[in-house]
Amino acid sequence: MATDHFTLNGILVDATAELRERWKSYRDDFGPRNDEPHDVIQEIADAAVPVYTSDLLRLAAESNDLATATPEVGPAFDGAPTPVNIIAANVFEAIEVGLWEEWQRIESEAKSLGETIAHAECEGYERGLAAGSWVVDGNTSEATARRLLEGIEDGDPEILDGLPSAPLSGEFADDLTPRDVLDWYELGEDDDGADDVLAAFEEGFARGVIDEVTRSARAILGER
């Protein structure tokens, strides 16, 4: 169903969609900790208020409260207490309230996504530890163990590239795929945060491999 942009509900739909787009594409607009939406909300609400008298009167006809309530911010535009200015100010406040409610939903989703990302990283780390345990065993020589340790410490690509990697390649029948990991968290490939979840899993896996290879190699050399 097409949105009627000349109703208050239609304006709110467009405004909340813009807030989500700003959050998705311009995260820096929300402050260094991504928790300062006040300026963005005011900017979107201000831009969403119709400027034509006919549109404002149509909104007031839809909801008499827009014409009769006293706006906390005072009359809009030039500040004169005219009916149109009062309607515009009430429209602004209604949009602002709707945007703050949407922001609460965005914050809740972000918290949930953060927990999902942290869980995916832990899951990747545990699987990385298991994969790393196959690199060094009782048959590994001290020379090999020392070469592995030095390569890891130096960031030697030849050593690092030889460690288990690409847990989501799907190259073999029993390999995980990105779809497998996303299914754990009931996410689709196009959902917000899907790429972050997959990246966290892979980063955790890589860290788990390195930690386990390092631990095992040091054990071979009698180091702690």
Among 91, 111, 131, which residue terminates a domain?
111
pLDDT of res. 207: 95
Let me know the angle formed at the C-alpha of 76 by 75 and 80, rounded to the nearest 5 degrees: 55
Range from 20-24, 46-50, 154-158, 188-192 carrying the lowest mean pLDDT: 188-192
Among 53, 85, 111, which residue terminates a domain?
111
Question: In whole angstroms, what is the distance from residue 159 CA to residue 124 CA?
Answer: 21
> Is there a domain that residue 1 lies in?
no
Residue 56 and residue 88 in contact, taking contact as beta carbons nearer than 8 Å: yes
Chain segment 179-200, per-residue pLDDT in tens: 999 999 999 998 889 999 999 9
If asked whether residues 95 and 185 sit together in one domain, one would say: no
If asked whether residues 25 and 85 sit together in one domain, one would say: yes
What is the domain count for the chain? 2
DSSP secondary structure letter of residue 107? H
> Is there a domain that residue 3 lies in?
no
> Is there a domain that residue 27 lies in?
yes
Question: In whole angstroms, what is the distance from residue 223 CA to residue 153 CA?
Answer: 15
For residues 203-211, give the mean pLDDT.
96
If asked whether residues 37 and 58 sit together in one domain, one would say: yes
The residue segments making up the domain with residue 204 are 114-220
For residue 98, give both structure tokens: 């709707």
Question: In whole angstroms, what is the distance from residue 182 CA to residue 168 CA?
Answer: 11
> Is there a domain that residue 2 lies in?
no
Question: In whole angstroms, what is the distance from residue 96 CA to residue 108 CA?
Answer: 19
Q: Is residue 166 very low, low, confident or very high in pLDDT (cuts 50, 70, 90)?
A: confident
Range from 70-74, 84-88, 129-133 carrying the lowest mean pLDDT: 70-74
pLDDT of res. 4: 55
